[in-house]
Every structure is written in C-alpha cells, then in structure tokens.
Chains A and B, each alone.
Chain A
Amino acid sequence: MSFEPIGPTPAARAGKIALLVLPFLAGLLCVLLSFVPLSQILFIDVAPAFALMAVYYWAVHRPDVFPPYAVFAVGLLYDLLSAGPLGLWALVYLIVYGLVVSQRTLVVAQTFTVIWVGFLAAALVNGLLGWVLASFYFGQLLSVWGILGQMLATVALFPLFANLFQKLQDWLLVQG
C-alpha cells in the first residue's frame, strides 16, 4: 500500500504535496473535459462522465490520496458548471465512492478486466442513483436514454483514462 516517506527533506515534502494535489487536479480536469464539446466528434449526445472515472480509479487504487473532500469538490464543480440540481452529482459520486472504497478489496489486486467490470457496476449504480434523484428533484419521470448512453460511453472509454491515471500514479510513486 502507501508508504510515502514523510521525511523532512524538501523533495519528499514536495512529493507528498504532489501526491495529494495532482490526483485532485486530474479529477477537476476530468470535469472540465466533460464540458468540452466532444459530442461534435464522438457522435454521442451526452459527454461521458469523465469525473466518475477519476472517482472510481482513485477509490480503488489510492483512496488516501483522493479523500471525500476531493470527491465532493469534483461533484460540486460538475453541478455548478452543468446548471443542473446543485449537489446532485456531488451526492451521487460520494455514495459511489463510499461503496467502491468499501468493496475495493474485491478488485484492487485483480486483473484490469475485473477492475473494468467493477467500473461497469459502479457506472450502473451511478446512473441509477442519478436518475432516481433527478426524477425526484424535477418531480417527473425523466427519460433514461440520456443517462444510459452516457454511462455506456463512460464505461467504453474507461480503459483509456485508467491507463492515464496509472501513469500519473506511477510517476507520483517515483516522485514520492
């Protein structure tokens, strides 16, 4: 697990700060990426939930560097930018994060396929929760196709982002 040195050397301290800050920044960037008009070239209606990938990846591999505050901040940024119900995705991401962290021993040491299947489950929970909460919020049954398509696209793109996060994690370990 995590044995980052808490030494007094400035380099080690900088490494520790980077370890805490960079995954969080990556999460925020993922939120921003959701708002880049990618739908114009990806031929999908709703942009994939890149932030969910970050939440899941760090919840599985290093929950200590992606604490609940970070999950909340990422979800809240998504809510603020999307003009949807404030707190919706913050709440959903936190619940998904809690579930994943509690079950992470099932997938953490397994092959990538198992982690991917775990992500599929997390995305389904995420989609269902989001849909139920939003339906309650707006007081009507919303169409499920939007969120279903979004979750499918998110699951399909997960390997690419997991790879990027893996690189970041490796690099941080070397630095720390």
Chain B
Amino acid sequence: MIDQTNRPALPVRDVSGRVPLIFMVSLAAALLLLGRAETYVVDRARQVVTDLAAPLLELASRPVAAARRVVESTDQYAYVFDENERLRVENADLLEWKERAIQLEAKLARFEALLNVQVDPAISYVTGRVVGDSGGPFVETFIVNVGETHGVESGQAVIDTQGLLGRIVATGPDASRILLLTDLNSRVPVVIESTQVRAILSGDNSSTPRLDFLPPGSAIRAGDRVVTSGHGGLLPPGLPVGLVVDGGEGLYTVRTYSDRTKLDMVRVLQYVFPTEVDTQDPPPIFADGVKADAGSGAPAPAPSTGAAATPQAGGGT
C-alpha cells in the first residue's frame, strides 16, 4: 500500500481511495462469516432482490427463449423426415402400450375399490417459466416466475417434461427459487424402482448427483430407474428422477431425466401429504355420493370409503 505513493502518475485521490477499499473488504468478509448463519434478514433480503429482479430477467429471457426456439426449429427442419419415420414407429409402439394401459387401469380401479384402498389425492400444479439461470459456479438454483400469489410454497417439487428437477426453497409474491437436484445442498429421499431399495440422492455440484446411504450389498445395477420415495412427506412418491449410473468403487450416481440446460416451462406440484387432506378423491364414478358427504361436515375420509365400498360391491358382481 505504501509503495504506491512512489509511483509518479498516481494522484493523491488514489491513495486516499484505499481507505474505502479496505473498509469494503472488511465488510464483505464480515458478511461472509455472518451469512453462514442464514438469518431471517439475509433470506428476506435475497427474496426482495430476487422479486425485484424477476420482471427484468423475464423480459430479458424472452429473446433468449425465442432465439433458442429458432435454433431448435432449424435443427428440426434438417431432420424432419428421419424424425417423422421415428415417430411413426414410436406411435405404433405407444398405441399398443395405450391398449395395455387402459386394460390395466380398469383392472387397478376394480382392485382398489375391492380392497378399499385410500386413493392418493390428486396433485394440483402451477406452471411457470424459468427466468433466471444459476448464475454462479457453486450454486445450482433457478428463478421461476411464479410465487406466493400463485400458491407456490417452499418445499414443493418442481418437474420439467421429463422428471423431477428440484424443489422450491424460497418464495416471494411473484418469483420463487428452485434448488436443483444437483446443488450441493439438495437431499432427496429416493427409491430404486425395481428393488425398492431406499437411498438419499445428494447433489454435489456435478451433473450427476450421488446415491447416499444405500444399504450394503443391495442389488443395484446401472440403468435401474430411480423415483422419489415420498418419505418425509415433502415430495410426492413416484416422481421419475433418473437412471442409475455405476461410478465404480461402490459409488452410484444418477443421470437425471430432467435437463437443466433446456429449461423453459416447469411445473410446480402443490402436493399435500395425504393425512392433511380433508377429502380424498374417490374413483370418478362415485364422486356424487362423496360430494354429499363432504359437504355435510368434517369427518370426510371415513364416509367416503364407505361410499366407495358399497356401490362397488354391486358393480363387481
């Protein structure tokens, strides 16, 4: 600091300018230390700034989205015939699957009714546009342009067209922040679909989050499907997450279905844990009977199952 005064060209102002610099450096260092506590004030400040920036970001993200669509559509023109052929084959395949799905659905509905199964409540959702990129090398969060006014709350799951993307960690009136599965702070309870082995999916800032707390000796193979387990009650069970990748040395990672590089519209699932739901949706054919019960008062679940059981006994024979 002192040797700078020897330099010929520096005016006095530059030397006196060091005092604010040192003050500001100390202030930033103090913030860094204090910020670890993640106090309410810090959270609040973040949210206010995010809310203020969201409209600007939304404005700026539109031309980017438009440009990306142009690039994508020119890509598509180049492959339109190949793509068409591929889709025809896939369509034929899917029609077969559709047939099977309809049969299974009917069968499942009959079994559920026979066994008096509590049907999971339908999950409502709100769709928003991703307007803010992660913007830093050490955090994996996105800003989405829906907030409290749209019913978004902290903890809700966010999915793109392929699968689980992350969850909401902060909300303001008109903007929310998504913590991606890949972020250092992300922990999601998952289950390997084929073997029902449970694990925790931990983000580590790489593109493939890790599977932690796998039971020793569990039969798990690369390519197994991973879905959310719903344990803890925060995320709905059964959301597709990704495919297992064998990292060697007993380390397994997951390649997520969701693609963070191609995000446009995402869906925020407003899942409520089944025990906190007053009435659970019965199969649609019995909707009328239950509505009458639900309207009459609070103890809804018990009457609704009763209503579901009686007509089905008649329908089944």
Contacts and interface: CB of A to CB of B under 8 A. Distances in A.
A33 interface: yes
Contact of B46 (A33, A80, A87): A80
A60 interface: no
B64 A41 contact: yes
B31 interface: yes
Contacts of B36: 85, 137
A61 to B, nearest CB: 13
Which of A34, A64, A72, A83: most chain B Cβ within 10 A? A83
Q: Is the interface of A mostly helix, strand, loop or mixed?
A: helix
B139 interface: yes
B21 A1 contact: no
Contacts of B7: 105
B212 to A, nearest CB: 14
A164 to B, nearest CB: 16
Contacts of A1: 9, 11
Interface in B158-213: 169-170, 177, 184, 204-207
B184 A130 contact: no
A91 B25 contact: yes
B229 to A, nearest CB: 26
A26 to B, nearest CB: 15
A100 B204 CA distance: 33
B137 A46 contact: yes
Contacts of A150: 137
Contacts of B263: 37, 40
B99 interface: no
B28 A94 contact: yes
Nearest to A84: B139
Contact of A37 (B10, B30, B130): B130
B13 interface: yes
A80 B143 CA distance: 12
Given A39-B261, A40-B65, A82-B134, 12 more contacts: A32-B56, A33-B60, A36-B64, A36-B132, A38-B64, A71-B24, A81-B135, A84-B139, A85-B32, A87-B29, A91-B25, A101-B17
Given A80-B45, A94-B24, A142-B138, A86 B35 contact: yes
8 smallest A-B Cβ distances: which pairs?
Answer: A87-B31, A86-B35, A146-B137, A87-B32, A91-B28, A82-B136, A147-B137, A90-B28
Nearest to A149: B137
A133 interface: yes
Interface in A102-160: 102, 105, 130, 133-134, 137-138, 142-143, 146-147, 149-150
Interface string B30-55: 11101110000010011001100100
A94 B10 CA distance: 20
Nearest to B169: A83
A58 interface: no
A21 B27 CA distance: 22
B49 A80 contact: yes
A68 B21 contact: yes
Nearest to B46: A80
A138 to B, nearest CB: 6
B71 interface: yes
B47 to A, nearest CB: 9
A63 B10 CA distance: 11
A150 B134 CA distance: 12
Interface in B91-133: 130-133
29 contacts: A32-B57, A36-B132, A36-B133, A37-B65, A37-B131, A38-B64, A40-B68, A41-B67, A46-B136, A46-B137, A68-B17, A68-B20, A68-B25, A69-B20, A71-B24, A78-B135, A78-B136, A81-B50, A84-B139, A86-B34, A86-B46, A87-B29, A91-B25, A95-B25, A101-B14, A105-B10, A143-B204, A143-B205, A146-B137
